[in-house]
Amino acid sequence: MKITFMGAGSTVFARNVIGDCMCTEALRDSTFALYDIDGERLEESRVILEAMRNTMGGYGKIECYLGVENRKEALRGANFVINAIQVGLYDPCTIIDFEVPKKYGLRQTIGDTLGIGGIMRALRTIPVMADFARDIEEVCPDALFLNYTNPMAMLTGYMLRYTNVKTVGLCHSVQVCSENLLKELDMEDKLEGRKELIAGINHMAWLIDLKDKNGVDLYPEIKRRIDAKIADPDFKDKVRLEYIKHFGYYCTESSEHNGEYNMFYIKDKYPQLISRYNIPLDEYPRRCINQIERWKKEYAELLETGVKDHTRSKEYASHIMEAVVTGNTYKIGGNVLNTGHLITNLPEEACVEVPCLVDGYGVHPCHVGALPVQCAAMNMTNINVQLLTIEAARTRKLDHIYQAAMLDPHTASELDIDTIKKMVDDLIVAHGDYLPKYF
């Protein structure tokens, strides 16, 4: 069996996911093909993963493929393809995504999923993934493509609508959503045996139903406790608790993400909201800088002290691959196309995040029905941007980029149309060859 990791220079993530495979009996004898366009980062991943492989019994083997010219061979014969690329990296592209909008008075927190940052990230990533798709269709047409790269809904939606690659998008948020909420509200005693339903879109999937082991609805008690947390000046997850207060439900992704997915919290005319809701502006660039420095230190320590055993994480990837290989059923929250209206009040062409069952025949999305109307409405403000960005990438029409930015809730709440178009033009120029030509 062959598992190909695209973007293997994402060393920490590659170590976690491939480490999960190495401690899974059904997967550990695989060939792990590492692909990246950065030789130094690829070598760091190889060194760590080889050391981990030897520590964990020496099963399987690792192969490295550097550069676009070797991409097809990295993919050839793969059973599974894991995607964790970041086109343009932190420097220069993430810097551009944040600094150019800042000149127009538009501030962001993460900028990788929605907003002008998410739009630009999608536009520079979709062409690369389209190239991946052509290679996969030729050299491993039956492979299952596990996408971890953001913006999740835009990239996964593109792959599912415009390629023949079997694709599911995977996030880190669904599996810890209700656990985080209950721990935040000092309700740990309700964790064991709880039942939940989560559905919506990536980073804004809603915890629609949460019951304890006896079938008691936990939302009334949750709602009783949230005001005290929101009033706590040091509490960080205020935006999501505000969602419960005003829309009735908690959502999957963190408050620093959701602070920029709407028109409510980051507002030039209301600067007090930033401190009131503990919204960390420029958070993603800060994380990138810290992660780069942290990895340099960690890599040096690993070389000196050696690599220790890996404990299987909560990441879905190894569990999905194990279910496909063994035929044993496993449940995930997956990003899939809304074909057949899995969520009845969202459009079929949207990429939705819903419960999915995985077995020897692949990934099977589950029908959810209608979301609460206010939750669907919030999702649609994001889906509008997602669909227009995909259309821009597909048609290369500049007007669709403008329209995506104009309909983005945060951008539109801060800037007028002419300013939005000027900002988009400046971003396109700044990205240079990282973007194709638009007309």
Which residue of the set 172, 257, 367, 400 is catalytic? 172
Query: pLDDT tens digit string along 335-371?
Result: 999 999 999 999 999 999 999 999 999 999 999 999 9
pLDDT of residue 10: 87
348, 396, 343: which is closest to 372 by C-alpha? 343
438, 439, 427: which is closest to 92 by C-alpha? 427
Residue 128 to residue 434: CA distance in whole angstroms: 10
pLDDT band at 307 (very low <50, low <70, confident <90, very high): confident
Q: Is it the case that residue 66 has pLDDT exceeding 90?
A: yes
Q: Is it the case that residue 50 has pLDDT exceeding 90?
A: yes
pLDDT band at 73 (very low <50, low <70, confident <90, very high): very high
Please answer whether residues 173 and 180 qualify as being in contact, where contact means their C-beta atoms are separated by less than 8 angstroms. no
Q: Is it the case that residue 301 has pLDDT exceeding 90?
A: no
3-state secondary structure string across 379-421: HHHHHHHHHHHHHHHHHCCHHHHHHHHHHCHHHHHHCCHHHHH
Query: Which residue shows structure tokens 């690369």?
Result: 128
* Residue 63, φ and ψ in degrees, nearest 5: -125, 145
Query: pLDDT tens digit string along 132-187?
Result: 999 999 999 999 999 999 999 999 999 999 999 999 999 999 999 999 999 999 99
Q: Is it the case that residue 309 has pLDDT exceeding 90?
A: no
Q: Is 246 designated active site?
A: no
pLDDT band at 58 (very low <50, low <70, confident <90, very high): very high
Residue 429 to residue 420: CA distance in whole angstroms: 14
Residue 90 pairs in a beta bridge with: none
Query: pLDDT tens digit string along 89-111?
Result: 999 999 999 999 999 999 999 99
Residue 431 to residue 424: CA distance in whole angstroms: 11
* Residue 10, φ and ψ in degrees, nearest 5: -75, 75
The H or E element containing residue 267 is none
Least reliable range by pLDDT among 3-17, 179-193, 205-219, 235-249: 3-17
Q: Residue 128 corresponds to which tokens in the numbers above?
A: 């690369």
pLDDT band at 331 (very low <50, low <70, confident <90, very high): very high
- Can you give the pTM of this predicted structure? 0.97
Q: With 0-12 CB in 10 A as exposed, 13-18 as middle and 19+ as buried, what is 366?
A: middle
For the chain, what percent of residues have pLDDT higher than 70? 100
Average pLDDT, the chain: 96
257, 228, 259, 232: which is closest to 245 by C-alpha? 228
What are the DSSP calls for 167-224, one per residue? EEE--SSGGGHHHHHHHHTT-GGG-TT-EEEEEEETTEEEEEEEE-TT--B-HHHHHH
Q: Is it the case that residue 333 has pLDDT exceeding 90?
A: yes
Mean of the pLDDT values across residues 63-77? 98
Residue 349 to residue 324: CA distance in whole angstroms: 26
